[in-house]
Amino acid sequence: MADLNRVFLTGRLVADPDVKYTPSGAQVAQFRIAVNRSYKKKDSDEWFQESFFVTIVTWSKLAEKVEKNFKKGDLVLVEGRLNIRSYEVEGVKKWVTDITANSVSFLPRNRPGGDVKENHKEVSGDSDIEVPFS
């Protein structure tokens, strides 16, 4: 069986996507999302919440769509793969962890009064992912 590297995250964009181009002309959009986690401590009835921030990278057509459709504060669902890489700066090894997205979708927001905003939009990259289960 082949290894599996697939990640699903929901969170809010903490800033508008940052768009750049590689020397060969490929478009890259990068943005960060805040992902929240609620939990109870073992000896407490009180709920706690913590947030962590994840960098999302999109390429080519997906990067173009992300640039046009997403902005700070949007609640999104990201599906992609985990990347961990290293590089050196002045002899010091640094590590970077991010997600390369295959798709990014808007999630509906609750409006005051309980309505759900009718604004679901999905943008996908050109990916040939085979799902080992359905």
Span 34-79, pLDDT tens digits: 999 999 888 888 899 999 999 999 999 999 999 999 999 999 999 9
Residue 96: per-residue pLDDT: 95
Domains of the chain in sequence order:
7-39+47-124 (2.40.50.140)
Element (H, E) at 97: strand 92-106
- Amino acid at position 15, single letter: A
According to the model, what pLDDT value does residue 119 have? 45
Q: Which of 127, 4, 5, 16 is nearest to 76 (CA)?
A: 16
pLDDT, average across residues 18-22: 95
CA angle, corner 85, sides to 65 and 74, nearest 5? 30
Residue 42, pLDDT score: 85
Among the ranges given (14-23, 80-89, 118-127), the one the predictor scored with the smallest mean pLDDT: 118-127
- Rounded to whole angstroms, the Cα distance separating 84 from 93 reads 13
